[in-house]
Amino acid sequence: MFTAIWQAYSFFLLANVYPDETITQKNRPKPILLLVVSLVALLTLTPLVFSQIISVGNENSIAPKAAGGPGLIIFGVVAIGLVIAGISKILAKRKGTLGTERKQYNFFLLGAVLMFTLIIFFNFIFANLSQNYNFIPLGAAFILPFIISTAYGILKHHMFSAKIIATEIITFFLLVITLLEVILAKNSTEIVFRVIIFLILLVVSILLLRSVRKEVKQREQLQILSKQLSLANEKLKALDQARAEFISIASHQLRTPPSTVKWFLSAILSGDYGKVPEDIKVPLQKTERTNNHLISLIEDMLNVSRIERGKMEFLFEPTDIQDLARQAFEQLEPIAKEKGLGFKFAAVTEKIPNISADKEKIRQVMNNLMDNAIKYSVAGEIIVDLKQEGRKLVFSVKDSGKGINAKDKVQIFKKFSRGKESIKSSAGLGLGLYVAKIVIEQHQGKIWAESEGEGKGSTFYFSIPMDAKKSAGASFDFTAD
């Protein structure tokens, strides 16, 4: 009875602490409770609980003859109260839990309820009502359900740290064996020597347990951080997908007005609405170029959105690359002349065989490289070149602009990346070269830039294999890009 009250108190402490492994200020019980338990434990040793002990069976066993009165009631109230309070604590903590955490609480509760139901019924209620004490010696066996249930929870659902428990058990047995060696020592020399060994082992054991606890705690924190990082990553992916979809929808909506403006400006400048006065024609041409630049930016945004969502489609068909390059050159030639730049198309005159390519996307890449050269050149000459080298086509645009430093040369083909001087010189999103890189790579080619340094101009190249085999229509998943 003396140990039974401490068992109930220990269970209450465990319920307070669980699932933590140490008592903290937050879960520490009030000192008054310890005082009450201590007084009840002492009370069990007095006749107020049992007034007489008698021999039973073969007279090697003993049992209480009769209850001593109020002491037994006080014991029952405190012991059962501690058990109910502990189970209530666990039930309260169990609310709102899911998955593995909920299973941990379930195993804890199952073992506790079974254990205390057996103990309270057979060792307390049944024994006192029927005066049958034959089940009292089975008290230790009644604890087995809790041991089995929590052991399964530890192994299956990591209820407690198995590593810490194993370390504690091994350390405990080592200390017990060492202490027995002290007790069984035959002389004072052995006693002193074994006491020193015991104390050393005790200190080492404490340090070992602290180290293991720290390691397990760090591992748990890493697992929590890893889970949080995984959740954050999933949220970021969802947000990124939502952003890409928003850009796609917004770009589609934004593309319609400037496309309409482009159609009307083209009609006006071509004289469909009558002759345009020269003093009005020049502003309209500037407006048309600005509007075309806006359309180009929106198209870049759409392409990036398609790339991110894995929905960019390519239509590969026989393409006259010379004609495509000449068209792009003629489209931008007036802009270069207006800036006072030399603009030369130095492509070979010999006929280059057709290649399999997406006409519109290759034209867009060529347009982007030439447009960049015009934007970033203040004076000098721009040379556009197209030639066949072996079994590949090489297109290049050489300018006399601001040049590129070694650091920017690596960055300029990345998404939303622009060189330092580019940011100062013109507006843009840093998407044109990124999209160009994707387009050329999907044609099994490569794109790169060369420059001797800032202020020394630059040359942009792309090359495409002439015999690359592509299906008539294809789409590519760029979501990992």
Can you give the CATH number for the domain in which 320 is found?
A: 3.30.565.10
- Which residues lie below 8 Å from residue 330, measured CB to CB, with a gap of 6+? none
| Among 338, 251, 265, 358, residue whose Cα is nearest residue 295 | 251
**Sign of CA pseudo-dihedral 153, 154, 156, 158:** positive
Alpha-carbon distance of 48 to 67, in angstroms, equals 8
User: Mean pLDDT over residues 264-287, rounded?
Assistant: 80
The 3-state DSSP class for residue 448 equals strand
Q: What is the pLDDT of residue 416?
A: 59
Q: What is the pLDDT of residue 129?
A: 80
Residue 192 has pLDDT above 50, yes or no: yes
Q: What is the pLDDT of residue 58?
A: 55
Specify if 363 maps to a domain: yes
Residue 32 has pLDDT above 60, yes or no: yes
In this predicted model, which residue has the larger pLDDT, 457 or 60? 457
- Which residues lie below 8 Å from residue 148, measured CB to CB, with a gap of 6+? 111
Q: What is the pLDDT of residue 250?
A: 64
Kindly report the backbone phi and psi dihedral angles of residue 454, in degrees, each rounded to the nearest multiple of 5, phi listed first. -65, 135
* Report field, pTM of the whole predicted structure over 0.75: no
Q: What is the pLDDT of residue 447?
A: 92
Decide which of 100, 125, 156 is a domain's last residue. Answer: 156
Burial 394-409 (b: 16+ CB within 10 A, else e): ebbbbbbbbbbbeebb
User: Mean pLDDT over residues 115-144, rounded?
Assistant: 80
Decide which of 126, 156, 186 is a domain's last residue. Answer: 156
Decide which of 156, 174, 200 is a domain's last residue. Answer: 156
Alpha-carbon distance of 125 to 119, in angstroms, equals 9
| Among 243, 292, 239, 227, residue whose Cα is nearest residue 263 | 292
Q: 3-state DSSP helix/strand/coil percent for the chain, to nearest 5? A: 60, 15, 25
Band (476; pLDDT cuts 50, 70, 90)? very low
Residue 114 has pLDDT above 60, yes or no: yes
User: Mean pLDDT over residues 181-208, rounded?
Assistant: 83
Which amino acid type is present at position 465?
P
Q: What is the pLDDT of residue 396?
A: 93
Specify if 169 maps to a domain: no
Residue pLDDT, tens place only, 54-94: 665 555 555 555 555 678 889 889 998 999 999 998 898 88
Residue pLDDT, tens place only, 209-263: 788 777 777 877 887 888 888 888 888 877 776 666 666 666 556 666 777 777 7
Alpha-carbon distance of 94 to 107, in angstroms, equals 11
Q: How many other C-beta atoms are found inside a 10 Å radius of the C-beta of residue 119?
A: 21
Specify if 199 maps to a domain: no
Which of 14-23, 91-100, 115-124, 237-246 is predicted with the least confidence, judged by mean pLDDT? 237-246
Domain ranges, residue 399: 311-476
Alpha-carbon distance of 334 to 454, in angstroms, equals 27
Q: Which range is most confident: 71-85, 267-281, 407-421?
A: 71-85
- Whole-angstrom CA distances from 463 to 8, 87, 262, 298 are 81, 74, 32, 26
Q: What is the pLDDT of residue 477?
A: 44
Alpha-carbon distance of 398 to 343, in angstroms, equals 10
Q: 161: which DSSP letter?
A: -
Specify if 174 maps to a domain: no
| Among 403, 425, 402, 312, residue whose Cα is nearest residue 360 | 312
Specify if 91 maps to a domain: yes
- Report the helix count and the strand count for the chain, using DSSP H and E: 14, 11
Specify if 360 maps to a domain: yes
Residue 334 has pLDDT above 70, yes or no: yes
In this predicted model, which residue has the larger pLDDT, 101 or 304? 101
Q: What is the pLDDT of residue 64?
A: 57
Which of 63-77, 152-166, 235-249, 266-280 is predicted with the least confidence, judged by mean pLDDT? 152-166
Band (472; pLDDT cuts 50, 70, 90)? very low
Overall number of domains in the chain: 2
Q: What is the pLDDT of residue 311?
A: 61
Specify if 64 maps to a domain: yes
User: Mean pLDDT over residues 165-173, rounded?
Assistant: 76
Q: How many other C-beta atoms are found inside a 10 Å radius of the C-beta of residue 96?
A: 8
Instruction: Could you list the beta-strand ranges (E) of 108-264.
Output: none
User: Mean pLDDT over residues 361-388, rounded?
Assistant: 89
Q: What is the pLDDT of residue 382?
A: 92
What proportion of the chain, given as a percentage, has pLDDT over 90? Answer: 10
Specify if 33 maps to a domain: yes
Q: What is the pLDDT of residue 383?
A: 92
Q: How many other C-beta atoms are found inside a 10 Å radius of the C-beta of residue 384?
A: 25
